Structure 1
Amino acid sequence: MRSFKFLCLVFFCFNLSGYAQKDSIKSPGFLKFTHSVWVDSVMTTLSKEERIAQLIMVAAYSNRGEEHKQEILKLVKKQKIGGLIFFQGGPVRQVKLMNKYQEASNVPLLGAIDAEWGIGMRLDSTISYPFQMSLGALQNDSLIYAMGVEVAKQIKRVGLHLNFAPVVDVNNNAANPVINFRSFGENKVKVAEKGIAYMLGLQEHGVLPTAKHFPGHGDTDTDSHYALPRIMHSRARLDNTELYPFREIIKAGIGGVMVAHLDVPALDSTGVPSTLSKPIISGLLKEELGFQGLIVTDAMNMKGVTKDNSPGVVDKDAILAGNDLLEFTEDVPKAIEEIKKAIKKGLISQKEIDDRCRKILAIKQWVGLNKYKPIDLKNIGKDLNSSKAELLNRNLTEASLTVLRNESELLPLRRLDTLKIASISVGGEANYQFQKTLGLYSKINHFNIPYEATKAELDSIKNNISEFNLVIIGLHDDSKYPRNNMKISAEVQSFLKAIAETKKSILTFFKNPYSLANLEVAESASALILTYQDSKNSEDLAAQLIFGGVGANGKLPVSIGEKYKEGDGLIISGGLRFKYTLPEDANMNAKFLNRKIDSLMQQAMDLKAIPGGQILVARDQKVVFHKAYGSQSYSDTTKVKLSDLYDLASVTKITSVLPALMKLKDEGKFSLEAGIDAYLPYFENSNKSGISMRKILAHQAGFKSWIPYWETTLRRNGTYKWKTIKKDSSARFPVKIAENMWLFKNYQKEIFKQIKRSDLEKEQKYLYSGLAFYLFPSIIEKLSKEEFTSYLDANFYDKLGSTSLTYNPMKKYDLDKIIPTENDFFFRKRTIHGKVYDEGAIMMSGVSGNAGLFSNANDVAKLMQMYLNNGTYGGVNYISEATLEEFTKYQFPENGNRRGLGFDKPSLDERSLNGNTAISASDASFGHTGYTGTMVWMDPETKLLFIFLSNRVQPTRDNTLLYKLNTRTNIQQILYDAIIE
């Protein structure tokens, strides 16, 4: 984080100093080496032909076979070419080949790549940053500078030295087929500023950038790869618009400029491509604009320059026009021969060739090739895909998100309990990241339709979404690049428009912004989000934007017809709910976190302490680790999914009873000093009468630890008593314990009776007891005048979006989505799957304050984060800060009691590796563990949240290996160790 802040400071200091001097031109740094000792020494070894060859760069590929490799080696050894530009391939193959080619070359080769959006533009298994049009939406150009730094590191890591980027064309033609999304936009000033930011990141970290495509390729509807575009603007217009970014980036000291293949009559009336035009290159670029750096041609195999020009001859003409470096020369021997002829004819002097050769060699020294070493392949994959680089990638995407409409401040969504949400992905697939991330925030029904859906498909979805009051539409892009076209049929467009006109709707557009001009639904949607391209990051972060996990402040970089203007964009605040991100975003070490947690979980599974589990880690309301491990049980191979539900066991206490009691306390309906008999008169005149709720919740009341209620259902011979359990249900036996096990309807009274009659300990000191938690639901119902589970749903779970937090999960979920617990050999005599493991809880119809809740880690985390946020989450205040502070502090520490009110706390004694929580957990931290192998813990001081869900009671509750290994608290300690100070 410190290094990133330093980079930003460097960038802004530059803006305030050298770049602010508009009338001065900063000279490219490599020029100081043109007459260095090393350059002089190399020059003495080169023949005239070899000096020409230094000006030639040919195309190389790392995804082609041995024949191609030998062709390149021949050019390197025999023709002595100066460099290579690498196209498609992979990083390992690329480095191996570059090392081989360097070994074969007398003079180190200059390596280039088109890495406009990072080396992922050309090499597989590497990072692709957002396209430049996405970056054009950014309001913080220091992020672009940081991208330049990372791209520079990656280019050098694969043994290359030049980046043919940035594109500083002003894209003011929506029909532009070749620049378009590769441009920062239509605002010349912003194009210049962002181009300079990218350039500085590259150049200040040892990679030579080349601004392209001079003199400006933005206002054309012809692709120069296939024909010669003609630009008919006046010189005044060119000076004012197209040339502006080049002028500014030259002043800022860029090292290279690439010349495009364009016919620009206002600059050269002869009709020759600009690549071959001496008035444009030598006259305008060198003399008028004062550029002294490297001038490189666009690819010399493009139709824009090769038409009517033969190989070799066209290369000679490019050199005569003033270019220093020929890119993608098709016939190297012919090119060298033609240039030699030109020297002999006096069309160009040997000194001019030598000066350009020195310039190439100076660049080689500037990038360190005078001290060349082969590139090491060790850890190259990890180096090119670091967490830091991926976080930057996400930050760039997040900063580009643009909201063009937000009626009635719909975004970010609030009051989830009032919304019934459907999502429709158009052109997407069922498992697209957009819908996956949406599902992390609330219950959503997902639908998918193709671009040309049939009437039957559309009618089916129309019928299915009739009951929903909010529809989220994701319009996806199935192409590699965000082209300016629409594949959506008129029927689908009409269908989407009808939805937007009749329901609240959010349209998320994952395509080229120009395409919005022909999309009618964009005018009708309640909210409109633009991501500029379709990627895993853009889908993930757009979904997070909708729910307030992240915000948006992007501005449209281009105008879209008359609908939207360049600069449009609304500011949407984030931080409302969880942000799902990478550990580095919360100043945690991702590599350490993943390696250590994975290792401990694997150990626990290998030793059969647990068959699997879920872990969620959040810091500062940022989910930085969210993984599922292993299988649902030892007896099958069903893998645990992040959406699977676990039996929370005693974690139920702090996820059901405690939030309700805290809310009721805030409302003045519940007092910690009142006795249990004040709320349940049944306990008057019992030995528990007058014992305060404070003591009860702090486990300081002297209650027995537990009562085996189920034993009262059995005869001495182990069979069930006729008055307690039957094989079939009836009005008198309506409580289902398991298949063919139905409990007497009034058995809850028996449980209450046993609690009432139970003895108290001789002293009121700390003894963990769950007895009162069987009673609390009745207290809560009495005080709230609502059914317990309905009260929790309405006041907490539905508002939080914690829809998997539920009692009796089989009422809502299929069995395969619920993790099994133990094999019960003593009461139910079967595998417990889909019902609570706790005997007392199942005998209370599965609803108890002691146990009974099921959930996945993600939904538990929302409630726990609310606690960490002092009672607030998603814009809703649930509990007062004062009440939370009271419940989460030590209550009776003077008696050696570490408990809060319902919450567990760290040990009061000296911490140990085998303690109830991590050694580094602060005294302010709080949480709870569960008998099934669950643990949740929150630490306000470090803003850490830890959720651990498992079913350690597999195969039976006698399996205590999880405790012996201390897996949960060992993992929790890793979280503290992973924090980067």
Structure 2
Amino acid sequence: MSHRPCQRSSTSKGRFRLLAMASVLSLLGTLTVVPGTLAANADERPGKPSVHDDRVPRGWIINQIRRMTLEEKVGQLFVTYAYGETVDTVDPRNQAAHGVDTARELIDTYKLGGMIYFAWSDNVSNPAQIANLSNGIQNAALSQRMRIPMLISTDQEQGLVTRVGPPATQFPGNMALGAGRSTDDARTAARITGAELRALGINQNYAPVADVNINPLNPVIAVRSFAENPQLVAEMTVAQAAGYRQENVAATAKHFPGHGNTDTDSHIGVPIIHHSVQEWWEIDAPPFEAAVEAGIDAIMTAHIIVPALDPAEDPATLSEPILTGFLREELGYDGVVVTDALDMAGVREHYGDERVPVLALKAGVDMLLMPPDIDLAYNAVLDAVRDGEITERRIDESLYRILRLKYQRGLYKDPFVKIDAIDDVVGIPEHYAEAQRVSDATTTLVANDAGVLPWNPGDDDVLVTGWGVTTTQNFANVIGERGPSTDVFQTGANPGQAAIDEVVARAADSDLVVVTTMNAWRPGNSGQRDLVEALVATGTPVAVVAVRDAYDIAYMPGVETYLATYSYGIEALEAATRVLFGENSPQGTLPVTIPTAEESDVPLYPYGHGLSY
């Protein structure tokens, strides 16, 4: 029975793709093993496929699968992290987390399919270090019996979620791009981000976020989403996927089936999405449907419950109706499905850590990201196959998709990077200029009721205050470059009365106050709202700049001058300063509706609103 609402006809594309996969897997019982490298086998085939298209030597991949032990197959399904700047760095945290000393030992023990980089695991200190770590990981992978290159991933969404910092080019995040409305800019941001990641040996990005943020109280997605408009999110998602693919980096649309309408963070709880099937098709599905049509490399699951899609109310990561029924069969997706991190509370509440990876595979997942206990998870999957709960044929199905992706992204051809070429790609002036150009088109002037902007800079005294030690100082620096004398007083996320009194006293000696807010709408951040109210009451001109969610103005009555940057990155602050001083006319328009604080269905500023000079 089709899962689609009655007014939509069921597609045959999903069935066709599943039949194609079944045909491929049926060859496992008939093909003979043909030893040798991919290059040798591919060269023997007429019309050798390019690493930039989707043709693959499927017979060769199947033969690779036939040569693998069950332990090697299961290892390829796992992606996790290791502490250390090199593949051989001995770090006691590796013993605590994984029972090994180094990343190399982790690969040797479990024959992993992928590794993921974070700052907290000391993987991304500087470009040369990252590239050397990547080469070391690939060397360790190719030292195994099967010589299978590694998917090396990170979360370089840009904006709020950025793992690789400067000198790598920093682009505005998704909601800023949504405010700019340019799919060309979205693609450019992904293409340059992808080029720099690939130069560092990172060949998979867990981006773009394809969630449609329709809940102003969403604590985990918000500015990570392009917009509240499903069509705009779909267009931006496809554009970014194309940009990453252009640089041979695997793009990953997330978080299926859609994390945009929740007020719970799946890192610490279990969100429940109360959309009907019809609402899911209309709101959440379009970006993923478009991504599938465009041939997205991978899709990441969400640890959310959607009762309309799965009445059993299993998290989507563990839900066969959602991952096999809707994603595989209805949308026709036959690429790699990877879980969100399995150490998150949203997937661990109802099942033990030894059951989660097994249930995820049974639901339709291919790759298992960051289980809290790799040894427990790995052996749980092995036991499930040996006990007959999961067939080895099912493991082979996921393995085929994983090896196909590695081939498509050119990893069998050459997974290594050239250290001496990094400076020619990462953080070059041309990339910085493009990042600033894109950022300049995203700043949104929401309110300018008193006509304070554009401000004519001169010998003025400008007080920069509000949230963020680095943010307020960086803002003051770029403002000071225009001539004004700047005073900086950072007040934090929830300033008390003493801090507010100090800022008010300083405002009396200032010509202009620029105050940054960051999620001032949240109940725990009410001090930011008190600060703005006190500053407005001084009579000194005040420009409020929301450096994350645009919704803050709904909780700050009396604010007459309000900018939304959707980001506190230096490029966003530079763009905002150019708008403040009239160097650029504001070009961004709201990619979300800002509702009133009292009634979420009453718009204060509508989707598409934005002022200009």
Question: Residues 128-527 of structure 1: matches in 2 within 5 Å?
Answer: 128-378=170-420, 380=422, 383-407=425-449, 411-413=453-455, 421-427=460-466, 432-441=473-482, 443=484, 446=487, 448=489, 450=491, 451-452=495-496, 453-454=498-499, 457-458=502-503, 460-461=505-506, 463-465=508-510, 471-476=511-516, 486=525, 488=527, 492-499=531-538, 502=539, 505-522=542-559, 525=560, 527=561
1:102 aligned to 2:138? yes
Please say if residues 151 and 204 of structure 2, whose CA atoms lie closer than 8 Å, have aligned partners that are also in contact: yes
SS in 2 for 1:464: coil
Query: Cα offset for 1:63?
Result: 5.2
SS in 2 for 1:488: helix
1:111 aligned to 2:111? no
Structure number, greater radius of gyration: 1
Question: Residues 738-753 of structure 1: matches in 2 within 5 Å?
Answer: none
Aligned-partner Cα distance in 1 for 2:372–2:499: 49
Question: Which AA in structure 1 matches 2:356?
Answer: V
Please say if residues 533 and 556 of structure 2, whose CA atoms lie closer than 8 Å, have aligned partners that are also in contact: no
SS in 1 for 2:594: coil
CA 1:426–1:389 in 2, change beyond 3 Å: closer, same or farther? same
Query: Cα offset for 1:131?
Result: 2.1
Query: Cα offset for 1:283?
Result: 0.7
Aligned-partner Cα distance in 2 for 1:141–1:116: 16
Q: What's the counterpart of residue 606 of structure 2?
A: 565
Question: Which AA in structure 2 matches 1:537?
Answer: E
Query: Cα offset for 1:112?
Result: 1.4
Please say if residues 474 and 510 of structure 1, whose CA atoms lie closer than 8 Å, have aligned partners that are also in contact: no
1:45 aligned to 2:67? yes
Query: Cα offset for 1:402?
Result: 0.6
Aligned-partner Cα distance in 2 for 1:454–1:301: 38
CA 1:141–1:548 in 2, change beyond 3 Å: closer, same or farther? same
CA 1:404–1:298 in 2, change beyond 3 Å: closer, same or farther? same
CA 1:155–1:489 in 2, change beyond 3 Å: closer, same or farther? closer
Give CA deviations for 1:193-235 in whole Å, capped at 9, x if unaligned. 1111111101232111111100011111111111211112211
1:83 aligned to 2:114? yes
The correspondence for 1:54, drawn from 70, 76, 82, is 76
Aligned-partner Cα distance in 1 for 2:522–2:193: 24
SS in 1 for 2:55: helix
Question: Which AA in structure 1 matches 2:329?
Answer: E
1:121 aligned to 2:158? no
**Number of equivalent positions:** 536
Aligned-partner Cα distance in 1 for 2:406–2:486: 58
Aligned-partner Cα distance in 2 for 1:84–1:429: 33
SS in 1 for 2:253: strand
Query: Cα offset for 1:184?
Result: 1.1
Query: Cα offset for 1:32?
Result: 3.0
Aligned-partner Cα distance in 2 for 1:492–1:183: 28
SS in 2 for 1:116: coil
SS in 2 for 1:136: helix
Aligned-partner Cα distance in 2 for 1:482–1:550: 28
Please say if residues 277 and 308 of structure 2, whose CA atoms lie closer than 8 Å, have aligned partners that are also in contact: yes
CA 1:318–1:547 in 2, change beyond 3 Å: closer, same or farther? same
Query: Cα offset for 1:504?
Result: 5.4
Aligned-partner Cα distance in 2 for 1:30–1:235: 35
Q: What's the counterpart of residue 55 of structure 2?
A: 32
CA 1:567–1:379 in 2, change beyond 3 Å: closer, same or farther? same
CA 1:298–1:379 in 2, change beyond 3 Å: closer, same or farther? same
Question: Which AA in structure 2 matches 1:196?
Answer: V
Question: Which AA in structure 1 matches 2:532?
Answer: Q
Aligned-partner Cα distance in 1 for 2:594–2:314: 33
Query: Cα offset for 1:284?
Result: 0.7
1:549 aligned to 2:577? no
CA 1:119–1:184 in 2, change beyond 3 Å: closer, same or farther? closer
SS in 2 for 1:378: helix
SS in 2 for 1:395: helix
Query: Cα offset for 1:347?
Result: 3.9
Q: What's the counterpart of residue 839 of structure 1?
A: none
> Whose RCO is larger (CA < 8 A, sep 6+)?
2
Q: Which piece of structure 1 moves more, 543-552 or 273-282?
A: 543-552
Give CA deviations for 1:519-555 in whole Å, capped at 9, x if unaligned. 2242xx2x43221222322222222222322222101
Question: Residues 756-795 of structure 1: matches in 2 within 5 Å?
Answer: none
Q: Which piece of structure 1 moves more, 49-58 or 253-262?
A: 49-58
Question: Which AA in structure 1 matches 2:556?
Answer: L
CA 1:511–1:280 in 2, change beyond 3 Å: closer, same or farther? closer
Question: Which AA in structure 2 matches 1:213?
Answer: H
Aligned-partner Cα distance in 2 for 1:176–1:490: 19
Identity of aligned residues (%): 29
CA 1:555–1:485 in 2, change beyond 3 Å: closer, same or farther? farther
Q: What's the counterpart of residue 72 of structure 1?
A: 103
Aligned-partner Cα distance in 1 for 2:192–2:90: 32
SS in 2 for 1:253: coil
CA 1:561–1:30 in 2, change beyond 3 Å: closer, same or farther? same
CA 1:188–1:410 in 2, change beyond 3 Å: closer, same or farther? same
Q: 5+ unaligned residues in a row in structure 1: which ranges?
A: 1-21, 466-470, 573-981
Query: Cα offset for 1:253?
Result: 2.0
